[in-house]
Structure 1
Amino acid sequence: MRRVPVGIGTEFLLGGRKYKITNEIEKETFIAKDLNFENVEEKFTLHHLLHQLQEGNLEFSVQGKSTSIKKSGIYDVEDFSMLSEEKQEEAKLRHYAIEPLLKLEVKALNPYIKSRKEQLFKEGYQVSEASLYRWIKAYRESDGSIYSLVSNTHKRGVKDSRLEKEVDILIDSIIDEHYLVRENRTITTIYELVINEIDKENDKRELDEKMNHPSLSTIRRRINARDTYEVEKARKGANAIRNKFKQVQYHEKPKYPLQRVEIDHTLLDIVVLDNDTLLPIGRPTITSVLDVYTGYPLGYYIGFEPPSYTSVMLALLHAISPKTYVKKRYPKVKNEWLAYGLPELLVVDNGKEFLSKHLKEACLELGIEIYHCPVKMPWYKGPVERHFRTINQELLHQTPGTTFSNVLMKGDYDPAKNASIRFDALLEMFHKWLLDYYCQKPNKGVKGAPAKLWNKWFEQNPRPEVPSNMLDWKIKLMKLGYGSIQSQGIRRLHLYYQDSELHVIRRKLERAGKKNKVKYKYDPTDLSKIYVFDEMDQKYIEVKCTDDKFNYTEGINEYAHRVIVKKARDEEKKIDISAIAAAKAELIQLMKDEKANSIKQRKQKQRLNNIGSNQVFSEEPPPKTIKDLEVPEPKETQEPEIIEKPETITKLKPERKIEEATKRKTDMFFVDIENDWDDFDVG
């Protein structure tokens, strides 16, 4: 992954002109030379550069291959999750091999290399000293990118396995039965068992039907291709491998900013009002990301999205990004939001959203190590828990509409009746309190004011690194999907995404003899586009939704779309644009009768309308609400535009899943309140 420290020597592209920073004339103010014209220099502030980066107008140059926008909608972004599983496992194994060596600060690395080689050999991995040196060099030169450990063979095309399918199956079954056990069987033993099984089977066959013996190195590669953690867990147990996979003391105090960062969610102790109707809509959830060394909040998400990968994604994106929006959005806030950057260690609990494959892959690509706290030991995340308590006690418990933290404090106080703070006003109050009060006030836990501690460290040390292109980080945090390219494009959740570049990708796959299957990244808070990965040229294609007759998808989130699709499916038993439009019109009428609804239902409306703090630091237009997307009744003569053949509900979701759905917790729209939905999408 490409990360750039902004300072003397940094090159960047802005407004079609290339610059190089040659001098820092005062704190966070630079002189940059125009590389296209001799003797032309301009002055830039760090804030201006970061703002242009955030807006997508600036791109930093990096050594080697640069992230760049090739043409409109085509992005050259390295993405580890788009590689084959074999390549991903190969890179993970190499990272495991060098991980203990990366943290050493010694003059002579040779004895440690020899020791690591011997240790790996005992574990069944045959690695040369030269390979370890080469991998360490590549990893460090790439600023800790897992992509640097991927061999270049993925660019040569996929080769078919030389082994017969029967031998493949036999090898896998013997590894599962004899290697993934607590008995410490060696790779040589597994190889001998494979040979024995093949010989026994060959005794029953004619000469021309006999299976060939695989080599020992083939068996070793098959075992090494397995997930390292799962293999070790099966062979040694979870407790025995904890120290092996967690090389540092995770409960010790960090020594510098971004070394240890904690993230968690909680319901805020306040009932807020709808921005338009002024009716109570309930308690929003906050997902906060806190730097432990300085006590400075890196970022947050406040909204009505329940704890999920979506809320984690939005909080992490806010945390790692420069926050140049504050002064423009909230002029009454005096101080800038100083903190941004990638953490080294992210401390989480064992919630479903923190065990998500999406988070695991995103952090691997961003170079963030995840540590899951032991179950029922909240003190492992003490700083972020205390931060939540401080928010409630020092800000919200003094605000009309507070729910307090317990029944005794609440007494006969009615939060809904006394609520007077609109959601937008809450966000402004939060920024004012956080940046002008909390970050400026001495904190006993960190022995100083968070803002002063942050500034003091980075006055004497390099600034936090930023991406060469902001879209690089955004795409890495998006969710991963799979699809095939058909004549109408890629279908997802009854919507079609089409672009001429898709058919170019399809032809390249056909010429290479590959299946018509592609990976793509998508933002669950905006269904108007997806980013399809071209594995042949290693680039992303931005593909817009073509089912947008009524600007349906612009700004709509995944949850709202699923509510609408479910209603249309239940009534029509087929999905077409007219059915979706009619379902939306009925939902609008449901929203109009808010006074008869409970606070819980109003809160779910906010989730439906994509209301959250992620809209605050975006310069893009706010998302359309259900009301904004109202569609006129189609004329009687108008033929409905069918975007999909009629199909039964069993095609949308396997029958087994439908039975399971009755056990799940659903909301007012009978939609599963969890929003990862990995088992739902078949389109």
Structure 2
Amino acid sequence: MTDVMEADLSSEDSIEPVTIDHIVPDDLEVGAFIIYEGRPFSFLHKDEGCAPLIFKSETGPPRLIELLPTEYIHKIALGEIKRPGRKNIAGLNAEPESYRHDEKFEALPKKAREVAGLKDLYVEEFARRIRDAEERGERFARNETNALIVREIVDAALPKDVHPPAMRSARSILRWLQRSELKKGSPMANVHGNYQRPYNRKISQRVLDLIATIIREQADTLPHALRPGIIRGQVNTKIKEINLEESLQIPPVRTTTVTSEFNRYDGWIRLAATKGKHAADLEFGAVGKLVRPTRINQHWELDHHSIDLIPILGSTELGQMLSKSALGRLDITLAIDVYSGYPVGFYPSFEGTGLLPSLMCIAHGVQEKTYVAQRFPHISGSLLAHGKPTKVRFDRAREYVGRQMARSLRRVGIGFELARPRFPDDKPYIERFFGTLENDFVSWLKGRTGSSPRDRGAANPAKEAAIELDDFVALLHEYFITVYARRPQRGLDWETPEQRWLRGLRNYKPRLLTPDEQARVDVLASIEVKVNAGREGIQWRNKHYQSPELQSIRRTSGNFGVRKNSMTPLIGRISLRDVGVIFVSVPNTDTPSEIAVPCTAAAAHGRTVWQDEVVQALLRQKKKNPQSKIDYEDGFSALFRRSIGCMGIKTDKASKLGSSRGAVTAARFTGVMVDGVCKHALTRLVRDGTALDLFGQLAAQDKSQAVCEENINAINTDDEDIVDIYDDMPADEIDMSDLLGEED
């Protein structure tokens, strides 16, 4: 169409009208071949403007044909030109049933359509000869002799790079013709049956996993004598034992089944025999599948996920409504037991990804969930999973590869393993669980954001948000207990996760935290630090810790006594949720023990590690002393007041809402949901707000209706009036810089 675009637009007579002959049909590309007059031709090119399509012959003497696009379309419609694997244009005038057949045909794999298209060439040639004979008053019989004639003609007309069907005997061609006539020329007539009907596997996944497990076990004992027959005998023996123990009727496996699975492991077996199973796992992964563990708590998978939902802050435990303004998206860290598929632990929060949500999730999974009956009495059932896992698998995020994660898990006797980089299939169960959670649960809630703008559509999650944080926690528990855990799953041989977990309890007793571990505050969600204790106590991040018990340790700590001025090196443990206390390990004792050493600054008690970092950053920005108790308390109070304003809570000063990310950071600083799902989502917010006497001020304000209406109008400001303070801010500065702005 270049000649049209370059025409002189000043003269209407010089503009050539655009017709179908100016374009190339969308089913043609260079090299595509057609069957015309019984011979194959390939498409060469088409000149610009109203020019013909040029084809060259692929067999016989060289020949070029020229057809205008309108001629080409007309001959396609009449059947004079055939395109293997393409729908005939005559199908546009077909009945609705033909339309459905065409849709099914286009949805098939490319190879299936190509093979069916080749078969249609033989059928169409046979049908053409039948029609031509009828026009002459003759008869072209449907017999094997004529089928062989058709086969020779079509084989000779096919291009050299196109291979005819392997099974094209005379009887096969007659069957193709019969199917096409019965289905009225549908393109689905000669598609192989395996592509048309679903294949329902009759062998249970448990049997296949059993075969894989025995192959891996025998790779250590009999690597050179590993044969399908040996594997089959051991598998059938194990099946008999399972049938007796669990009163099942699993049929014995056949040789073909074992051989098929054995062949899949062939490369893995060879490498495992020479370099070991670990090297084979790194090279081949799990050979297309991961074998489930054989008992509960043998293997957990853990990961973070951003929930596609915007909640509101809601009301306190006593029913006082704080804010109905929309917050930002919250995150969830979740662990799942691979054997049963049961969600063992979870931690929804605004902490994002980090060490705190990971360790709090594991701590929640280990404990017995007795709080469910007290907090949510309306839920029929409870979270059954508990106990320490043998190992936890997670990816290579920064919080997972650090030393603090390994130290925390070592304190309670939990192992871990890292997934391979750029291999998401190493954690398939937790990744699939997140997809189910979004589609099956979150997508039905008000305020959902969707996973993409297309999924969100015309919805406005910030205006539609109506789910309170604590209500979301209750709904999450109800979904896990009454829906997900009680729904049969194909990967569990149509058992429910609850049934699989209860069956696993009969053969394995979960490992609980020991009494010594339970006595240690936040034994998991804490970090270990090396500190030096002197006469003035311990100094850590501009905070001082002192107690008589600490000085008593110094007097009995070996070479570092009171007569020396040297500092006493010790190991301390600080909770990620409270920097106000450091737990010091007592040296030279037969059993591990700790003493609690409080911080001398009362304002630091109850602060998380991240809150402490933000407060100290503010003090440094304001040229204040981070070690000053008064400055620390004033800094925290200023940031806390600003944070509750960002979340839409009415304060004595009129304040505008920030962006969704600002609300998320504010919720994180005020400690919303930081204590986990065992407590109310706003427990810390109420505690610190009461200590600062903020809620007394709010109650006084509620007595004035005018002030209430003014603040409500300020909270419900239109989107145009909301100032997003993050647009020009680097991502690594968002967490602190949102709250470190200048005071009004």
TM-score (ref. length: structure 2): 0.51
SS in structure 1 at match of 2:504 = helix
Percent same amino acid at aligned positions? 21
Letter in 2 for 1:498: Q
- Match runs of 1:133-212 below 5 Å: none
SS at match of 1:322: coil
Q: Encode CA deviations 1:644-667: one digit per residue, 9 max, x unaligned.
A: xxxxxxxxxxxxxxxxxx998112
For residues 564-643 of structure 1, the aligned pairs below 5 Å read 564-575=615-626, 576-594=628-646, 595-612=656-673, 614-617=675-678, 622-623=683-684, 627-630=689-692
Match of 2:12 in 1: none
Quote the residue 1:468 is aligned against.
515
Partner of 1:58: none
- Cα distance in 1 for partners of 2:452, 2:682 equals 39
SS in 2 for 1:614: coil
Q: Paired residue for 1:303, among 345, 349, 352?
A: 349
* In 1, Cα distance between equivalents of 2:521 and 2:632: 33
Task: Give 3-state SS (helix, strand or coil) of 1:279's partner.
Answer: strand
Q: Which of 539, 544, 564 does residue 598 from structure 2 map onto?
A: 544
How far has the Cα of 1:322 moved from its partner?
Answer: 1.1
The residue number in structure 2 matching 1:486 is 534
Whole-Å separation in 1 of the counterparts to 2:672 and 2:527? 20
How far does the alpha carbon of each residue in 1:259-281 deviate from its partner, in whole angstroms, 9 at most, with x for none?
22100001001001113212111
Task: Determine if contact 1:260/1:347 at 8 Å carries over to the other structure.
Answer: yes
Given that 2:643 and 2:739 are in contact with CA atoms closer than 8 Å, whether structure 1 keeps it comes out as no
Shift of the 466–367 alpha-carbon distance from structure 1 to 2, 3 Å rule, reads: closer
Work out the CA distance in 2 between the residues paired with 1:302 and 1:406: 21
Quote the residue 2:310 is aligned against: 271
User: Aligned in 2, Cα 1:286/1:476: closer, same or farther, shift over 3 Å?
Assistant: closer
Q: Secondary structure at the match of 1:485?
A: strand
Letter of the 2:659 counterpart: S
- Tell me: CA distance 1:468–1:581, structure 2 relative to 1, closer, same or farther (3 Å): closer
Contact 1:555 1:622 survives alignment (8 Å): no
Aligned partners of 2:508 and 2:693: how far apart in 1? Answer: 56
Identify the residue that residue 289 of structure 1 maps to in structure 2.
335
Contact 2:619/2:632 (CA < 8 Å) preserved in 1? Answer: yes
User: 1:501–1:354: structure 2 CA closer, same or farther, 3 Å change rule?
Assistant: same
Matched residue, 1:81: none
Find 1:243's aligned residue among 272, 275, 278. Answer: 278
Cα deviations across residues 297-346 of structure 1 (Å, max 9, x unaligned)?
A: 11011000121111111011111111111100111111111101111221
What's 1:454 paired with? Answer: 501
Query: Any gaps of 5 or more consecutive residues in structure 2?
Result: 1-215, 223-274, 315-321, 647-655, 695-728
- Structure 2 residue 446 is matched with structure 1 residue 395: no
Matches within 5 A, 1:397-436: 397-436=443-482
SS in 2 for 1:669: helix
- Equivalent residue for 2:734, pick from 661, 664, 667: 667
Alignment deviations for residues 273-297 of structure 1 (CA, whole Å, 9 cap, x no partner)? 1132121111111000000111101
Q: Residue 437 and residue 301 in structure 1: after superposition, are their counterparts in 2 closer, same or farther (change >3 A)?
A: same
Question: One-letter code of the match for 1:268?
Answer: I
Distance in 1, matches of 2:366 and 2:572, equals: 23
Measure how far apart 1:481 and its partner are. Answer: 1.2
Distance 2:555 2:693 in 1: 38
CA deviation vs aligned residue, 1:490-548 (integer Å, no higher than 9, x gap)? 22222222211100111223645785111111111112312101112242111222211
Q: Deviations over 1:228-264 (max 9, x none)?
A: xxxxxxxxxxxx8992798998742211111221000
Q: Does the CA contact (< 8 Å) of 1:271 and 1:416 recur in 2? A: yes
* Partners of 2:547 and 2:279 in 1: CA distance: 47
Change (3 A) 1:242 1:608: farther
| Bigger Cα Rg | 2
Task: Please give the secondary structure, in 2, of the residue aligned with 1:528.
Answer: strand
- Superposed CA RMSD: 3.4
Task: Report the count of equivalent residues.
Answer: 408
1:257 partnered with 2:313: no
Whole-Å separation in 1 of the counterparts to 2:673 and 2:551: 37
Equivalent in the alignment of 1:326: 372
CA displacement 1:163-215 (0-9 Å, x = unmatched): xxxxxxxxxxxxxxxxxxxxxxxxxxxxxxxxxxxxxxxxxxxxxxxxxxxxx
Against the structure 1 CA distance between its residues 402 and 309, is the aligned structure 2 distance closer, same or farther, given a 3 Å change threshold? same
Taking a change above 3 Å as real, the CA distance of residues 450 and 543 of structure 1, as seen in their structure-2 partners, is: same
Q: Using CA pairs under 8 Å that are at least 6 residues apart, name the structure with larger relative contact order, 1 or 2.
A: 1
Where do 5+ consecutive residues of structure 1 fail to align? Answer: 1-103, 113-239, 633-661, 674-683
In the alignment, the residues of structure 2 paired with residue 325 and residue 455 of structure 1 have an alpha-carbon distance, to the nearest angstrom, of: 20
Deviation at 1:622, TM superposition (A): 3.3
SS at match of 1:277: strand
State yes or no: 1:534 paired with 2:581.
no
- Residue 333 of structure 2: SS of its match in structure 1? strand
Classify 1:405/1:349 alpha carbon distance in 2 versus 1 (closer, same or farther; 3 Å).
same
Q: Distance in 1 between matches of 2:641 and 2:581?
A: 28
Structure 2: distance between partners of 1:585 and 1:512: 41
SS at match of 2:368: coil
Q: Which residue of 1 aligns with 2:226?
A: none
CA distance in 2, matches of 1:336, 1:375: 36
SS of residue in 2 equivalent to 1:262: strand
- 2:422 matched to 1:376? yes
In the alignment, the residues of structure 2 paired with residue 246 and residue 558 of structure 1 have an alpha-carbon distance, to the nearest angstrom, of: 39
Give 1:347 deviation, angstroms: 1.3
Q: 1:556 touches 1:609 (CA, 8 Å); kept in 2?
A: no
**CA distance 1:456–1:372, change in 2 (3 Å):** same
> So what's the TM-score if we normalise by structure 1?
0.55
* Conserved 8 A contact 2:336-2:343: yes
Instruction: Give the Cα–Cα distance (whole angstroms) in 1 for the partners of residues 410 and 278 of structure 2.
Output: 19
- Map residues 28-43 of structure 1 onto 2, 5 A cutoff: none
Q: Deviations over 1:469-500 (max 9, x none)?
A: 31359425521112222333222222222211
**TM alignment of 1:27-106, pairs within 5 A:** none
- In structure 2, relative to structure 1, the CA distance for the partners of 1:463 and 1:317 (3 Å cut) is closer
Distance of aligned partners of 1:665 and 1:508 in 2 relative to their CA distance in 1, 3 Å threshold:
same
> What one-letter code is carried by the residue in structure 2 that aligns with 1:628?
T
Shift of 1:602: 0.9
1:407-458: CA deviation from partner (whole Å, max 9, x where unpaired): 2221111111100011111101100111111111112222311111111221
In structure 1, give the amino acid aligned to 2:294: K
How many angstroms apart in 1 are the aligned matches of 2:477 and 2:308? 17
In 2: Cα distance, 1:426 partner to 1:582 partner: 34
- Asked whether the 8 Å contact 1:346–1:370 carries over to 2, the reply is yes
Equivalent residues of 1:510, 1:516 under 8 A apart: no
Question: Is 1:520 the equivalent of 2:572?
Answer: yes
Deviation of 1:613 after TM superposition, in Å, equals 6.1
Report the equivalent of 1:561.
612
CA contact (8 A) 2:296 2:340 kept: yes
Say whether 1:506 aligns with 2:554.
Answer: yes
The alignment partner of 1:278 has SS state of strand
Conserved 8 A contact 1:261-1:290: yes
CA distance in 1: counterparts of 2:632 and 2:667, whole angstroms: 20
